[in-house]
């Protein structure tokens, strides 16, 4: 096999990237060691979004995209939500609205996450 091409928008590739970022950077508190896979639960599902809900700037506010949100929850109940490979927000996973949405395989956009969950929004890349 001559070399593998990675499709960075394929859900499995996005999951791998999000999990790596979460374990190494986004879930541990500052100064803590990276987490291991045994310390988290992962949810991956497909969902259709207005582009602006994902935190992307675009000319057509009506444009939609199908993204596979990856939700990574630590056993300490901190959660990171990624849209594709991008961190969208972090949230206290004890939040009842967040738990209800996750049970229904539904992730809200950034603006709603801030309003409904008190989420900390990721800085734009």
Position 33 in a domain: no
Position 105 in a domain: yes
State phi, psi for 120 to the nearest 5 degrees: -95, 115
pLDDT for 97 beyond 90: yes
Position 85 in a domain: yes
For the chain, report the end-to-end CA distance as a whole number of angstroms: 34
Cα dihedral 77→82→87→91 (10° resolution): -30
| 35-39, 52-56, 96-100: least confidently modelled range | 52-56
Predicted model pTM: 0.78
Position 59 in a domain: yes
What is the percent of the chain where pLDDT is above 90? 37
Domain span including residue 71: 11-26+39-121
What would the mean pLDDT of 61-78 be, rounded to a whole number? 72
| Residue 6 pLDDT | 47
| Residue 72 pLDDT | 85
Position 1 in a domain: no
Euclidean distance between CA atoms 49 and 117, whole angstroms: 19
Euclidean distance between CA atoms 72 and 90, whole angstroms: 10
Domain total of the chain: 1
Position 32 in a domain: no
What would the mean pLDDT of 18-29 be, rounded to a whole number? 92
Position 89 in a domain: yes
Euclidean distance between CA atoms 105 and 42, whole angstroms: 12
């Amino acid at each position: 096999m001559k070399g593998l091409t990675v499709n960075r928008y394929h859900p499995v590739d996005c999951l791998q990237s999000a999990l790596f970022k979460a374990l190494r950077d986004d879930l541990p508190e500052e100064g803590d060691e990276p987490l291991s896979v045994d310390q988290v639960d992962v949810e991956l599902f497909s969902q259709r979004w207005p582009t602006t809900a994902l935190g992307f700037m675009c000319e057509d506010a009506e444009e939609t995209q199908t993204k596979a949100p990856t939700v990574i929850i630590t056993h300490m109940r901190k959660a990171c939500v990624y849209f594709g490979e991008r961190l969208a927000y972090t949230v206290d996973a004890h939040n009842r609205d967040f738990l209800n949405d996750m049970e229904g395989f539904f992730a809200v956009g950034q603006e709603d996450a801030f309003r409904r969950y008190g989420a900390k929004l990721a800085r734009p890349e």
